[in-house]
Amino acid sequence: MSTKFVLNETSYFGKGAREELANEIKKRGFTKVFLVSDEALVEAGVTAKVEEILKKEKIKYKLYSKIKPNPTIKNVTDGVKACKLSKADVIVAVGGGSSIDTAKGIAIVMTNPDRADVKSLNGLSNTQNKAMPVIALPTTAGTAAEVTINYVITDEDAKIKMVCVDPNDIPILSIVDSELMASMPKSLAAATGMDALTHAVEGYITKAHNDMSDMFHMKAIQMIFKYLPSAVNEKNEEAIEKMGMAQYIAGMGFSNVGLGIVHSMAHQLGAVYDTPHGIANAMLLPTVMRFNGEDPATAQRFREILVNIGRPDAENLNDQDVINTFVWMISELSKAVGITQTIKDYGAKEEDFEMLADKAMQDPCKPGNPREVSKEDFIELYKLNKKLNARLT
């Protein structure tokens, strides 16, 4: 049985890497840019750092910034209209997952007009044509949208997050510039960093993991535990740059093997309560890992992680102690960067848990979870997180 692995074409890393943008646009023969970003980044002057490069090199562009933190179908359809009017031949996305995911959705619909409803893109897609070319410049160290074949769009009518999985959407070029990430407020740096950790951990234990994905995920986990606190709390330049690399490495892994039920549950919090995705993952990760650890094979994977992040004594611990130690280390990292909430703090109500569980059961990330999960399990996991801060146990 063969194993398929999809990676993007070209990436640049490091402080000031955005300076490569103009040359790449020109040598690829593009003549006009459809620049996708969000209003917060525009107002903060982050998008301007990319606009300055385009202006300096006299590259024409049209800015589209009407994007919600949890981007919607309307954000995509409005973007498609604006992109057509712009007559652009390349999309440049500047931002976190919101901007890059929206750009991917726009790019796919531009070349696959039969998917203009956007809803038909949910899940494993079978689009016929490669997306309009996308160049991605992430401003957050978390989603890895610049290197994955996934994007997430909210269906506001159904109150679900659509996880669209499509190799045709992968950006042709990624520019991971730590200077663009340095402007993140502490809360966003913390949330996106914990999002990256969730990607790496879920990717390491998912059913489809393989030797290559294990390599990516373990390295990402090591880097995140080492660099996230100083990237968030001290704005350390090296740590910020390393976090940009770590989340990208995690993206190369999980894009190919999938995730698990932390994401299945987090997606519903985002769709129903508009909970920021990274925060939702951070809140749920310890609770779900305690649940998953009851599977002996997964407990062994936890042991491997612990040995590689400074706990060689884990080799001699029993499974329950391994689970307790791993959950404690995740909780301590989360606390160290200022995330101590539970889902109750973001408006989750117990009367909603059955509805959330029904939606989670249908989430595309669920099949990858290493332990089978029922609707009743989902309800209980939501209850656990609401009633107590499971990350402190």
The domain that holds 49 is classified in CATH as 3.40.50.1970
Q: What is the pLDDT of residue 392?
A: 40
Domain extent, residue 94, equals 10-181
Q: Are residues 194 and 175 in the same domain?
A: no
For 175: left if phi > 0, alpha if psi spans -120 to 50, otherwise beta; the answer is: beta
Domain boundary among 137, 155, 181: 181
Q: Are residues 340 and 375 in the same domain?
A: yes
The answer to whether residue 265 is domain-embedded is yes
Closest to 365 measured CA to CA, from 158, 206, 190, 236:
206
Residues 271-291 have pLDDT tens digits of 999 999 999 999 999 999 999
Q: Are residues 192 and 176 in the same domain?
A: no
Residues 169-208 have pLDDT tens digits of 999 999 999 999 998 899 999 999 999 999 999 999 999 9
Domain boundary among 181, 200, 233: 181
Q: Are residues 282 and 300 in the same domain?
A: yes
Q: What is the pLDDT of residue 157?
A: 92
Q: Are residues 94 and 161 in the same domain?
A: yes
Reported pTM: 0.94
Q: Are residues 160 and 239 in the same domain?
A: no
Residues 101-137 have pLDDT tens digits of 999 999 999 999 999 999 999 998 889 999 999 999 9
Residues 49-77 have pLDDT tens digits of 999 999 999 999 999 999 998 899 999 99
Q: Given the DSSP bridges, would you call strands 173-176 and 10-13 parallel, antiparallel or unpaired?
A: parallel
Count of domains observed in the chain: 2
Q: Are residues 244 and 328 in the same domain?
A: yes
Q: What is the pLDDT of residue 393?
A: 40
Mean pLDDT of the chain: 95
Residues 6+ away with beta carbon under 8 Å from 230 = 236, 239
Residue 389: is its pLDDT beyond 80? no
Residues 6+ away with beta carbon under 8 Å from 261 = 288, 292, 360, 363, 365, 366, 369, 373, 378, 381
The answer to whether residue 349 is domain-embedded is yes
% of the chain residues with pLDDT over 70: 98
In angstroms, the CA 376 to CA 350 distance is 13
